[in-house]
């Protein structure tokens, strides 16, 4: 049984943020422009591991023509700690319950990094709710080409969220890429929006994807898919995007030149332009036939 707690708690820019009960969990949910008329379905966004709503809020605020929904995973941001471990199936179900409470039927699904795996699983589990799919800086799960070992060992350390000095010292090793506005801007703009996850929340996110891969199912994914990758990503090398694009029948690959793992934020104008081109493209007869 889903218990709704749809009481507004706070606001972040133009976002409405509230605590909601879904699937036996209480989660902090943010949505932008749901009450405004739009010719586009909302975007359901799955964040990277340990990342809170505020980390990706600038992207949501740039896409002014469409609604945007995302939530803090259990133990992340201001969502309470999980009492039990979870997996992609249960969290996709939880996301679907949140959409039900918000009165949203069909969505464009998007995920970055760890959240890209969640986005793949949601699209496979709920094909009738998914119109198109955007996968950014992500992989097919355990069957991936690993990144820079130095970056991966630091990524597994939650100090990158808790200790600003640690993040500042290892930022380039972790994320790579070149910010057009300079490295200092890249650090400051990202670090300033982070809220550290709880140790349990971070650990449960790490183990949620153990043994998971989408690769055997990707040839059956009938949605139009945009795979976005940075060519200087230290965590998820570009070859993983090429694997996704080859495995998914109706996928296209866009590479952000000079983009690291955070290209959605450091190369926001270019990323948003590519998103709009993909999401706003008219449906082809073949796409409509697959949807039917």
Active site residues: 113
Q: Report how far residue 52's alpha carbon sits from residue 141's, in angstroms, rounded to the nearest whole number.
A: 21
Separation of alpha carbons 232 and 33, rounded Å: 33
Strands (E), 41-144: 43-46, 68-71, 107-112, 130-136
Closest by CA to 274, choosing from 249, 256, 251, is 256
Q: How many residues does the chain have?
A: 292
Report the C-alpha gap between 48 and 13 in whole angstroms.
21
Phi, psi of 86 (to 5 degrees): -135, 175
Integer CA distances (angstroms), 99 to 31, 58, 215, 222, 285, in order: 10, 22, 26, 22, 28
Sign (positive or negative) of CA dihedral 35, 36, 39, 42:
negative
- Cβ-based neighbours of 285, under 8 Å, separated by 6 or more: none
Q: Which two tokens stand for residue 143?
A: 């069957």
């Amino acid at each position: 049984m889903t218990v709704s707690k749809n009481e507004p708690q706070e606001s972040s820019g133009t976002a409405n943020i509230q605590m909601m009960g879904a699937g036996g969990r209480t989660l902090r949910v943010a949505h932008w422009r749901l009450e405004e008329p739009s010719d586009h379905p909302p975007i359901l966004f799955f964040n990277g591991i340990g990342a809170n709503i505020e980390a990706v809020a600038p992207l949501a605020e740039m896409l002014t023509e469409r609604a945007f929904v995302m939530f803090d995973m259990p133990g992340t941001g201001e969502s309470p700690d999980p009492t039990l471990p979870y997996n992609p199936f249960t969290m996709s179900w939880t996301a679907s319950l949140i959409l039900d409470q918000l009165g949203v039927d069909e969505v464009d699904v998007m995920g970055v990094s760890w959240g890209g795996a969640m986005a793949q699983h949601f699209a496979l589990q709920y094909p009738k709710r998914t119109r198109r799919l955007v996968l950014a800086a992500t992989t097919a799960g355990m069957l991936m080409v690993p990144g820079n070992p130095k970056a991966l060992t630091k990524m597994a350390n939650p100090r990158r969220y808790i200790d600003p000095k640690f993040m500042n010292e290892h930022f380039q090793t972790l994320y790579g890429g070149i910010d057009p506005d300079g490295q200092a801007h890249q650090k400051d703009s990202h670090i300033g929006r982070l809220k550290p996850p709880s140790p349990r929340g971070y650990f449960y996110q790490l183990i949620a994807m153990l043994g998971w891969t989408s690769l055997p199912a990707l040839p059956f994914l009938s949605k139009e898919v945009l795979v976005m990758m940075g060519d200087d990503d230290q965590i998820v090398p570009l070859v993983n995007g090429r694997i996704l694009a080859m495995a998914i029948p109706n996928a296209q690959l866009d590479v952000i030149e000079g983009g690291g793992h955070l290209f959605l934020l450091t190369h926001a104008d270019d990323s948003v332009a590519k998103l709009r081109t993909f999401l706003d493209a008219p449906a082809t007869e073949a796409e409509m036939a697959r949807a039917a």
